[in-house]
Amino acid sequence: TDVVPVGDAAAWTRDPFGGDIVGGVLFGRGAADMKGGVAAFVAAAAAVIEGGIGGSVSLLITGDEEGDAVNGTVRMVEWAMANDQIPDMCVVGEPTNPDALGDMIKNGRRGSLSGHLVVTGRQGHVAYPHLADNPLTRLVAMLAPVNGTELDGGTPHFLPSAANVTTIDVGNPATNVIPARAEAKFNIRFNTEHSADSLRGWLEEHFTRVGGDWHAQWKANADPFITDPGPLTDMLAAAVTEITGRTPALSTTGGTSDARFITRMCPVAEFGLVGKTMHQVDEHVDVADIEELCAIYQSFLVRACGEVVG
């Protein structure tokens, strides 16, 4: 599977791709997110198939989830739907647990919309503002609805939708010059109360009311989705409890994942390792957790295949 870049390799205390095991802890980029999860579900599938089960098991391992996510899972979902190869259900091995294995199952994710807003004015001397047109004044007004704002009260399954400014740039190092151009980037994580189109329309209406010369570019990264509690989440939770003794919470928190594509064809939930060190220097997981995760996946597969064919 794919992983994020190592960053400064010199900052690591272990070879990022060495797979060193020290004191029962596996170090390496992707150990948590999510080579460890892949290893667990490959081993689990091999074990249950060898032992004999009533259903069929397919594995999908993609190479671009951490990138643009345009030629991996989304293409396989399109192929599966076009070729009548739609699964009954799917589990994604993302590192869903915040602190301990068994804490959390993800049964949905918020949507993501990114915006890039450019406001154009007229450059001038700050001592003569009447001869200039400061784009920053309008930019600040335009950004008011997305500056750390909650857009709703949340839903039974989702936190409130939230918008945050991530970048502001005027390309102007001087303090005595009014810039000719100001731009900003922002992101909205939204629940099922909204869509990318509705949010874009709402903001463009606001930008127009503020006025002046502006243009915006948009990227709809993901739609929100929810897998309602039911057979999939029940069987997965039962497997988690059987192996760990914990009762996992259902959650839709966090970022996006490739589950957003899989939900188009079948119920999907996510469960994997503890994610506390994912994307960090010295990313690591307990080997014992990988072994337990493998056992959880085995238990789930036995339950699911019995449920599907029974």
Q: What is the per-residue pLDDT across 18-71, written as a single tens digit (0 to 9) for each?
A: 999 999 999 999 999 999 999 999 999 999 998 888 888 999 998 888 888 889
Structural domain for 206, as ranges: 111-222
CA dihedral 298, 299, 302, 303 (to 10 degrees): -150
CA atoms within 13 A of residue 100's CA, in its CB half-sphere: 11
Residue 45 in domain: yes
pLDDT at 52: 85
Taking alpha carbons only, the member of 221, 186, 203 closest to residue 109 is 221
Q: What is the per-residue pLDDT across 173-203, written as a single tens digit (0 to 9) for each?
A: 999 999 999 999 999 999 999 999 999 999 9
Q: Report how far residue 226's alpha carbon sits from residue 172's, in angstroms, rounded to the nearest whole number.
A: 44
**Is residue 197 among the annotated active site residues?**
no
Please, what is the average pLDDT of the chain? Answer: 95
Q: What is the per-residue pLDDT across 66-89, written as a single tens digit (0 to 9) for each?
A: 888 889 999 999 999 999 999 999
Same domain, 216 and 270: no
Catalytic residue among 2, 88, 152, 204: 2
- Inter-helix orientation angle 287-309/231-244, to 10°: 140
Residue 58 in domain: yes
Share above pLDDT 90 across residues of the chain, in percent, rounded to a whole number:
91
| Tokens 């810039």 -> residue | 179
Nearest-5° angle of CA 246, CA 34, CA 30? 125
Last residue of a domain, one of 195, 222, 249: 222
Residue 1 in domain: no
Same domain, 120 and 267: no
Residue 253 is part of a domain; what is its CATH number? 3.40.630.10
Same domain, 218 and 242: no
pLDDT at 1: 46
Same domain, 170 and 96: no
Residue 213 is part of a domain; what is its CATH number? 3.30.70.360
Judged against a pLDDT cut of 90, whether residue 308 lies above it is answered with: no
pLDDT at 18: 96
Residue 262 in domain: yes
Same domain, 180 and 209: yes
**Is residue 2 among the annotated active site residues?**
yes
Residue 187 in domain: yes
Domain count, the chain: 2
Same domain, 268 and 218: no
Judged against a pLDDT cut of 80, whether residue 310 lies above it is answered with: no
Same domain, 178 and 253: no
Same domain, 14 and 140: no
| Tokens 């049964």 -> residue | 107
Say if CB 95 and CB 32 are below 8 A apart.
yes
Residue 2 in domain: no
DSSP-derived 3-state class of residue 138: helix
Last residue of a domain, one of 222, 257, 289: 222
pLDDT at 307: 56
Same domain, 145 and 46: no
Catalytic residue among 20, 50, 65, 258: 65
Q: How confident is the model at residue 157 (pLDDT cuts 50, 70, 90)?
A: very high
DSSP-derived 3-state class of residue 35: helix
Same domain, 149 and 289: no
Last residue of a domain, one of 222, 240, 262: 222
Q: Report how far residue 14's alpha carbon sits from residue 16's, in angstroms, rounded to the nearest whole number.
A: 6
pLDDT at 303: 95
Same domain, 151 and 239: no
| For residues 134-151, average pLDDT | 95
Same domain, 20 and 101: yes
- Inter-helix orientation angle 287-309/36-51, to 10°: 50
Residue 84: burial class (beta carbons within 10 Å; 0-12, 13-18, 19+): exposed
DSSP 222-287: E--EE--SSHHHHHHHHHHHHHHS--PEEE--S---THHHHTTTS-EEE--SB-TTTTSTT-EEEH
Q: What is the per-residue pLDDT across 266-295, written as a single tens digit (0 to 9) for each?
A: 999 999 999 999 999 999 999 999 999 999
Residue 285 in domain: yes
pLDDT at 68: 81
